[in-house]
Amino acid sequence: MKVELLNMIDTISSGVVKVKPLIADYVKNKKFPLEDRWEIYSTTPANFFDSAPWYADFTFGGDEIVWSSAPHYIESRHETVDNVDVIRRYEEEIGYDENITQEKIDELKEQMLQSGYRTWENDW
């Protein structure tokens, strides 16, 4: 049983190594619709992408995001933040905050896809 499990782990690991760059290239390729690329990005395990070891530097509606005032801000310092969760929080605010629109959210999604990072450390 141990050998079989180790073989399965090896097979999975080699598959992950092969698919990670394909996924990274796909989500950055603007030839494909944003909706499709975001679906791949958001359903792929976060550890398939790089994690930024610092504060994420994104803009929203042309303004730098001040994370302490972003919707449902995660306050714990050194907490790992997932971009998919950030987008979900913004989407929950549509209709409640007139400054949050789907167009601005889509611009933020594109920045996140182009960054190559899925997660980052809240290192304020």
Alpha-helix runs per DSSP H in 1-124: 2-28, 34-43, 83-92, 102-115
Query: How many residues does the structure list for the chain?
Result: 124
Model-level pTM?
Answer: 0.83
pLDDT, average across residues 119-123? 80
> What pLDDT, on a 0 to 100 scale, did the predictor assign at position 11?
87
* Cα→Cα distances 77→67, 92, 121, Å: 11, 23, 8
The model's pLDDT over 60-118, given as tens digits with 9 standing for 90+, comes to 887 777 665 565 565 567 788 899 998 998 899 888 888 889 999 999 999 999 999 99
Distance between CA atoms of residues 87 and 78, nearest Å: 19
Tokens, residue 117 = 């990072």
Residue 46: predicted pLDDT: 92
pLDDT in tens, 5-36: 888 888 888 888 899 999 999 999 999 999 99
Residue 50, pLDDT score: 87
Greater model confidence, 52 or 24 = 24
pLDDT of residue 72: 59
- Mean pLDDT over residues 27-51, rounded? 95
